[in-house]
Amino acid sequence: MAQDIKADELKQKLDNEDNFLLIDVREPHEHEDFNVGGELIPLGTLPNRLNDFASRKEDEVVVYCRSGQRSGVAKELMERQGFKNVRNLLGGMLDYTDRYGR
């Protein structure tokens, strides 16, 4: 099980343009309001989309939502499907925007 990620580490990874899969599990209206470039896959649709990423099961995956709750569920779901390096953004976009703004 991969270690979760904090806002400062995610910001650094984004600034460095690191290679990882970034997934936003919020709803479309939340994503439109503010996002950090993650692919929008609302949590309710994630199980049906996991085959799209089957080739990336060994890659680092960061999932995020508003507070870290839904993305925590997404992490567990992905790990049960064989993803090896899934990290949940602790505190979600609330913590990220508190630190870095929109």
- Per domain, the residue ranges of the chain are 7-100
The predicted structure's pLDDT at residue 67: 98
The predicted structure's pLDDT at residue 1: 74
Q: How many residues does the chain have?
A: 102
pTM of structure: 0.96
CATH numeric code, 7-100: 3.40.250.10
Question: Is the CB of residue 49 less than 8 Å from the CB of residue 74?
Answer: no
Q: Tell me the pLDDT tens digit for each residue of 64-84.
A: 999 999 999 999 999 999 999
Distance CA 16, CA 89 (A): 17
Give the H/E segment covering residue 56.
none
Q: Which two tokens stand for residue 21?
A: 């899969």
Q: Tell me the pLDDT tens digit for each residue of 16-65.
A: 999 999 999 999 999 999 999 999 999 999 999 999 999 999 999 999 99
